[in-house]
Amino acid sequence: MAERLRPRLIYLIGFSGSGKSTVGPLLAELLGCPFIDVDLLLEKRMRGTIPELFQRYSERRFRQEESRMIRELAAGQKRAVIALGGGAVVSEANRTLTQESGLVIYLSCEAGVLYRRLYHADNRPMLRVTPSPNETNRQARLRRIRELLAARKQGYESAHLRLATSKLTPTMAAHRLYSMIVRKYADNRG
């Protein structure tokens, strides 16, 4: 892709399990730029895993640090594919900044597929839920996924582009995203 047709930064947003951290490196390789995972940077900076950071500092403090990290990347990164945490879009400031500094792509995924992809994941503090007396663990976790998807809907849908990943392999998703980006920037020439 010609340099002038590339966005400076590409932000991948979506729920945990939608493919941001898996598809992101593949897309970055196709684009010939670095891949950055904001959650991994935050774990390194704040010295702990995401669940430990939520427990140690609270979600509010974690989100403040996440916003600071996004501002730093937007200001200092020349080119990159950046995977944001699943809840980063809740902040209107984060949404505005990413939309103005790059191309925002929403990787959407069905709740049932997210549940299957995250079944063994115990490092997602937002998915910790206690079933009500008439719910199974599966029902409670699916309910929580649907609640979070609904709460983040506005933020996710503010993206410039959207790709449904429920039925795609990571390689297929990366190639489709690459094609979408090429098409978008070819259409915007002149």
What pLDDT shows up at residue 110?
96
Residue 68 near residue 85, CB atoms below 8 Å: no
Report which of 29, 41, 23 is spatially closest to residue 88, judged by C-alpha positions: 41
What pLDDT shows up at residue 123?
62
Q: Domains in the chain, please, with CATH?
A: 3-180 (3.40.50.300)
Residues pairing with 36 in the sheet: 82
Residues pairing with 106 in the sheet: 13, 162
**H helices within 77-189, ranges in order?**
92-101, 111-117, 137-157, 170-187
Residues in the chain: 190
Q: Which parts of the chain sit beneath pLDDT 70? A: 1-6, 122-126, 187-190
CA distance 181 to 160: 10
Distances, alpha carbon 139 to alpha carbons 125, 126, 136, in Å: 17, 15, 5
- pTM, entire model: 0.91
What pLDDT shows up at residue 3?
46
What pLDDT shows up at residue 59?
82
